[in-house]
Chain A
Amino acid sequence: NAGVTQTPKFRILKIGQSMTLQCAQDMNHNYMYWYRQDPGMGLKLIYYSVGAGITDKGEVPNGYNVSRSTTEDFPLRLELAAPSQTSVYFCASRREGGATNEKLFFGSGTQLSVL
């Protein structure tokens, strides 16, 4: 059971470049989330999804986009990368229904630097 898989683990971008951070989960979780963690700070919600075809903005969505064409995959797209997007990005998922205190399952994170 792989859980939540994020790729790549590290990436350096030049200002203005674009890239997609991949996230996949094999637990059939409906709920998926993208967070960013700036140095010494907590996690801020970028985007989330409650199921295939349904996405919504979190606290800090500017400069990002997402799609959810399948239950398993939830890619995060960065368009026109800026230094302010230098951060660690975490994808997370959780089960819908059942015990609603289900924990979040996190990927191992993507360290992104924009220079």
Chain B
Amino acid sequence: AQTVTQSQPEMSVQEAETVTLSCTYDTSESDYYLFWYKQPPSRQMILVIRQEAYKQQNATENRFSVNFQKAAKSFSLKISDSQLGDAAMYFCAYRSDTNAGKSTFGDGTTLTVKP
């Protein structure tokens, strides 16, 4: 079974600065997908960014980018120019390419943005 580990329960960043959230995973599969989801206090789950394991190029979405290291099974999220609205819990998720595409989530990192 796959596991996803987020080793930072809490992180904080000053507004306008950059922060990196860590995620590692364990799998024996070669094809899979990785995601970062944001969960604000409203509880809604919002997709931030996604990465296909077969792509070497790191995904970017505006101020959000990832550092995907397949051999190291690492998938960190970098948030640049942090904004107050970025404050939320962030979940790293792994999705298998087989087996009904079930997703496994990490325990989350709570991000605080200081004005």
Query: In the assembly, what is the distance between CA of A27 and CA of B97, in Å?
Result: 21
- B104 contacts which chain A residues (CB < 8 A)? 45
| Total contacting residues, chain A, CB less than 8 A | 24
Question: A94: which of B6, B52, B101, B108 is its contact (CB, 8 Å)?
Answer: B101
B residues within 8 Å of A by Cβ? 4, 6, 9, 33, 35, 43-45, 47, 50, 52, 91, 97, 100-108
Q: Across the interface, do A108 and B50 meet the contact criterion of CB distance under 8 Å? A: no
Question: A33: which of B35, B44, B97, B102 is its contact (CB, 8 Å)?
Answer: B102
Stretch with Cβ within 8 A of B (4 or more), from A14-22, A73-81, A97-105: A97-105
Look across to chain A and name the residue whose beta carbon is closest to the beta carbon of B97.
A100
Task: Name 13 A/B residue pairs within 8 A (Cβ), A-sorted.
Answer: A31-B100, A31-B101, A40-B107, A42-B91, A43-B105, A45-B102, A45-B103, A100-B101, A101-B52, A103-B35, A103-B47, A103-B50, A108-B43
Query: In the assembly, what is the distance between CA of A58 and CA of B6, in Å?
Result: 21
**A88 on the B face (CB < 8 A):** yes
Look across to chain A and name the residue whose beta carbon is closest to the beta carbon of B108.
A42
Q: Across the interface, do B108 and A40 meet the contact criterion of CB distance under 8 Å? A: yes
CB of B33, distance to nearest CB on chain A (Å): 5
Q: Across the interface, do A42 and B50 meet the contact criterion of CB distance under 8 Å? A: no
**A52 on the B face (CB < 8 A):** no
Look across to chain B and name the residue whose beta carbon is closest to the beta carbon of A101.
B33
Question: B102: which of A48, A88, A101, A106 is its contact (CB, 8 Å)?
Answer: A48
Q: Across the interface, do B100 and A42 meet the contact criterion of CB distance under 8 Å? A: no
Asked whether A104 and B107 contact (CB < 8 A) given A42-B91, A88-B43, A90-B45, the answer is no
